[in-house]
Copies of this chain bind each other. A is one copy, B any other.
């Protein structure tokens, strides 16, 4: 058994949206295919992965550095010990050959796209949904077949209004979501408070609304926002300041009673450890959002989970950034707290397929083998193009 080809395309995500810092109009992700020599119903079995959402495609790093390293490896090197599949950790290690430590930015997404495609391939070889493969692989004793999901949206739009935001959240409610996350920090505090009030009015209570500053606040502005939102008892206050400003995060955890959520812009075990050492994250209260698709894949993400637990945190505190099928399977497979969804944005990779069941704020993947990306109607043609 071997991988006969590795392919990649950068795909453009749609949506004229912005958070407090970034406009996503030109946003891309790398879609990767690992084409095996195994055949099912006359077609090669192919593993697909992508480097999550929110940053950019990594075509350059993949083509210039990582794919040549994989091409040089002996095919049998990539096999798992029991021969039933491919070893994701080995594939990630080969992709990282001769890379220096530190600098966990873009390359962590490039590796992740490859590593995640390996899990999709392995699950398809076993003809089972990826969450089961992940569960068995890491010995996770969890029998759940669904998990909590919230709708992430509430971006800033051109000619935005509280009415538009309310309508957006009502639409999510109609689809079966009962909790939401909206952006803050893109307007003055006063305008953002009107957005928060509108969101809480739709949700029914503050504990169903999280806010996300995307790292835009300095120390003082973060504390001002914390004071302003305190009466709402919101679900969480996400990424108040620079994701690497662990002092700011610690200070906020000492001065705000609600939960703080952060981690989507930490891309390695070492950065996650620094957040735990220095960031003041409170056991059983604050929320970790590291995203496997941006931080070297499931192998490294699982190391992060083990480290979190050594620090006394629980994996139920983890809600990975990136609302899509891959993270749904990972969150379910590893027994995390839940996942997010972007019902309207970041298409064609954001959100879930119609075969996923969404009920009472919980989502269940379908029984499709792998991550089930083929069931996503707007993504399927791109998967076919990449393989044919």
- Chain A residues at the B interface, C-beta cutoff of 8 Å: 10, 21-28, 54-61, 63-65, 68, 98-108, 214-215, 242-247, 265-268, 270-271, 273-274, 277-278, 294
Q: Known contacts being A244-B268, A244-B271, A245-B270, is A55 close to B105, with CB within 8 Å?
A: no
Classify the interface of chain A: helix, strand, loop or mixed: loop
Nearest residue (CB) in B for A10 is B64
Q: How far apart sit A65 and B270, CA to CA, in the bound complex (Å)?
A: 27
Interchain nearest-CB distance for A222 vs B (Å): 13
Contact for A98 among B10, B26, B65, CB less than 8 A = B26
Nearest residue (CB) in B for A97 is B23
Nearest residue (CB) in B for A27 is B98
Residues of B within 8 A of A267 (CB): 102-103, 105
Interchain nearest-CB distance for A274 vs B (Å): 6
**Contact (Cβ within 8 A) B98 A215:** no
**Contact (Cβ within 8 A) A270 B247:** no
Residues of B within 8 A of A100 (CB): 21-22, 54-55, 214-215, 265
Q: How far apart sit A100 and B105, CA to CA, in the bound complex (Å)?
A: 11
Interchain nearest-CB distance for A61 vs B (Å): 6
Residues of B within 8 A of A28 (CB): 64
Q: How far apart sit A266 and B56, CA to CA, in the bound complex (Å)?
A: 21
Residues of B within 8 A of A214 (CB): 100-101
Q: Known contacts being A100-B215, A244-B270, A277-B247, is A106 close to B57, with CB within 8 Å?
A: no
Q: How far apart sit A247 and B277, CA to CA, in the bound complex (Å)?
A: 9
Q: How far apart sit A244 and B63, CA to CA, in the bound complex (Å)?
A: 27
Residues of B within 8 A of A61 (CB): 56, 60-61, 106
Residues of B within 8 A of A294 (CB): 103
Q: How far apart sit A182 and B207, CA to CA, in the bound complex (Å)?
A: 57
Residues of B within 8 A of A65 (CB): 56
Contact for A274 among B59, B265, B274, CB less than 8 A = B274
Interchain nearest-CB distance for A52 vs B (Å): 12
Q: Known contacts being A10-B64, A278-B278, is A243 close to B102, with CB within 8 Å?
A: yes
Interchain nearest-CB distance for A111 vs B (Å): 11
